[in-house]
Amino acid sequence: MVLKTIESLGDLRGKRVLVRSDLNVPLDGTRITDDGRIRASVPTLRALLDAGARVAVVAHLGRPKGAPEEKYSLRPVVGRLGELLGTDVAFATDTVGPSAQETVAALGDGEIAILENLRFNPGETSKDEAERREFAQQLAALADAYVSDGFGVVHRKQASVYEVAQLLPSAAGLLVLKEVESLRKVTDDPERPFVVILGGAKVSDKLGVIENLLTKADRLIIGGGMAYTFLKAQGLEIGNSLLDAEQVDTVRGYLETAEKNGVEIVLPVDTVVAPEFGPDVDSEVVASDQIPADKEGLDIGPKTAELFAAKIADAKTLFWNGPMGVFEFEKFAEGTRAVAEAVASCAGFTVIGGGDSAAAVRNLGFDESRYDHISTGGGASLELIEGKELPGIAILEEDDK
């Protein structure tokens, strides 16, 4: 699979280039609390500006329902992107309306604008192909070429991801190329031992991933809320801990398949439990087979942290998706911190699969350069690891000669 690159678009000086970026950053009011995705978008935008293109950036933020909502405006992103690029960034107050048309028309060579949130328009995420295509045509009318650089949405058939790429000369941006290359290195021919760490809340979110990995990985380390469904499948009592009750039989089948395939499954041996979910509740560490009936697990325990670190240490290829506990509460962040440190210290090729894991690494203060790749797309990275074809990637593949 070879993706079309920006070079394939030819001389871009004076050309209007529509760039689908991922600027879906967390906000506290209008304050950006994690600018990782904005920083990840800079290399592609800088390359286009240096080439003399007139760049119109489209992106989404949050989950508006196809109509403008002030709390989801991309306006707070404009200033931060300008700081990172070292240039003024214009802002259009709509996506394809008069403001967008005037803003793009006013751009000079090497100038850039952000258009307002794509998802303020129902056509962006519509399940109706004709409605998506109509919106994509309005977007395409603003530009001469298209660059797809929002990896976090390439697993979705959305107007700005899929249909626009059919309407304009299109290419993958530098971020999308880097994401695909890094994740293919994990999935296609991993150096062994190939170790995968999965955390987060629900087993059901990662069913396809686990199934695929049972034929590929050497070791599967399971933490976070999903670990309790695995413990339940082994016949252990888990108190009030998070349980994917409908998946217990499926997980039991996974454990049997893993044993048959020689895949090592590593589960928590101790757990930090509390009577309820909260930042300041009383907690204690118990063995994983001794969870009290009236308590719930909120983090892996210290013995598990040591066990997981030992199982991570010899990995030649490592993929991590999902925190080990409720890392947003300092009291229950130790397990995720321990795993983040172990992954950072691993000499193998390390990939953090976006979403909460990426946020945890940054929020806990780890130097991002200690990891080989931190994905900007949780869902997209999981679907690639699962072996699915991603529509926003497939549409960028070079035509067979």
Is 62 annotated as belonging to a binding site?
yes
Angle at 62 between CA 280 and CA 278, to 5 degrees: 10
Catalytic-residue membership of 379: yes
Q: Has 150 been labeled as part of a binding site?
A: no
23 annotated among ligand-binding-site residues: yes
**Cβ-proximal residues to 152 (8 Å cutoff; 6+ apart), any chain:** 22, 24, 37, 354, 376, 377, 378, 379, 380
Q: Is 60 annotated as a binding residue?
A: yes
156 is in an annotated binding site: yes
Q: Which of 199, 355, 378, 392 is catalytic?
A: 355
Determine whether the annotation assigns residue 63 to a binding site.
yes
Of the residues 37, 132, 178, 232, which is catalytic? 37
| Nearest in space to 340 (alpha carbons), one of 320, 326, 317 | 320
Catalytic residue among 185, 202, 252, 362, which? 202
Does residue 37 have a known ligand-binding role?
A: yes
**Distance in angstroms (rounded) separating the CA atoms of residues 56 and 94:** 12
Closest CA to 292 of 241, 243, 239: 239
Would the annotation count 335 as a binding residue? no
**Is 354 marked as binding a ligand?**
yes
Active-site entry in 82, 110, 379, 387: 379
**Known binder of ligand: residue 328?**
yes
Question: Is 365 among the residues known to form the active site?
Answer: no
The reply to whether 294 sits in an annotated binding site is: no
**Which of 198, 180, 191, 200 lies closest to 218 in space, CA to CA?**
191
The residues near 161 (Cβ < 8 Å, ≥ 6 apart) are 20, 148, 150, 153, 154, 391, 392
208 is catalytic: no
Active site residue 295: no
Q: What is the 3-state secondary structure (H, E, C) of 228-297?
A: HHHHHHCCCCCCCCCCCHHHHHHHHHHHHHHHHHCCEEECCCEEEEECCCCCCCCCEEEECCCCCCCCEE
- Residue 33: Cβ within 10 Å count: 12
Task: Fill in the DSSP letter of residue 314.
Answer: T
> Which of 120, 68, 115, 61 shows the shortest CA–CA distance to 89?
115
- The answer to the question of whether 155 is labelled as a binding residue is no
Summarize the annotated binding site for ATP as residue ranges.
206, 297, 328, 354-357
Summarize the annotated binding site for substrate as residue ranges.
22-24, 37, 60-63, 119, 156
Summarize the annotated binding site as residue ranges.
22-24, 37, 60-63, 119, 156, 206, 297, 328, 354-357
- Catalytic positions: 37, 202, 355, 379
